[in-house]
Structure 1
Amino acid sequence: MFEGNLEARRRRALAAIFGDIGTEMVDRVVAEAVRASTFFGLTGETAERYGRSIRATLVPALEAVTENDPAARDRKVNALTASVRAVSDEYHVPRIIERGLVSIAFGIAGSLIRKRASGSGFTEEELDREFLAFRGEFERSLYRD
């Protein structure tokens, strides 16, 4: 019981930090997407719309991170990855570029989470372990096809 409570607290701490850094992370990912746009033409207003579409996935991401019920968490992660895939499809982002952008997003988020871990009541390692578990779930769901 206590471990489950600890896990839930770690997930809430992770989500709180993630909520604070989400916009910064998306802005940096959109900048990377624009750099890669020679492959799929993401410029100007289209890049802004792409950024808004990706930002719209932040709330479902936070809900998935904090979900404690394994079946509900799986459903939320699957819905989240379906939303991310829909954004990629809408903006004609090739799968290889999508994979790179997802990796960049998780890299940025992980770095920012570790920098802010001390104020959460958990160590960098504890939050990183929780974050990497979520990343694994997300990537398995997104890339299973």
Structure 2
Amino acid sequence: MVNPGIQGLAADSPTRVQSSQTARTRGGPQEYAVAREAEVFAMTEALKLQDSIPEVAATSLIGVIAKLEMIVGADRDIGDPTDFPWPHIASVLRDLKAIAGSLPAHRRSRARTRSDVTKHWESAVKLVAALQEEGEAEYRGDVTVF
């Protein structure tokens, strides 16, 4: 896996992916571009879900635990998870689990995962094709820029 150049998705500096990395991918540069865009679509969907959590009211202790699990899990994107309030939130989560129990184990089905991958891949194929078409049109001088 390479650094996609999106801060927060990679631990190292936010730099653009080098063209030599594209050459090492199976299928060539177009398939690599599609895979990168599909990854962006998937991450965007996950972030939208994460952003919607504050509007969802928990109706049980298990619901509160689920929300805190999501918050604690998201702390991987922050600079230092040992800074306030992250250890405190993790402590509250441990206390709640000790009182109410942990969340039941859940694993998505392979069919659901494949369906999501297909959806993001198809969106990415359309985007890359449109960008290539736009680039070719600009090269021919067919596009009017407003």
Q: Same fold (TM over 0.5)?
A: no
Q: Which has the larger radius of gyration?
A: 2
- Higher helix share goes to which structure? 1
Higher relative contact order (CA 8 A, sep 6+): 1
TM-score (normalised: structure 1): 0.30
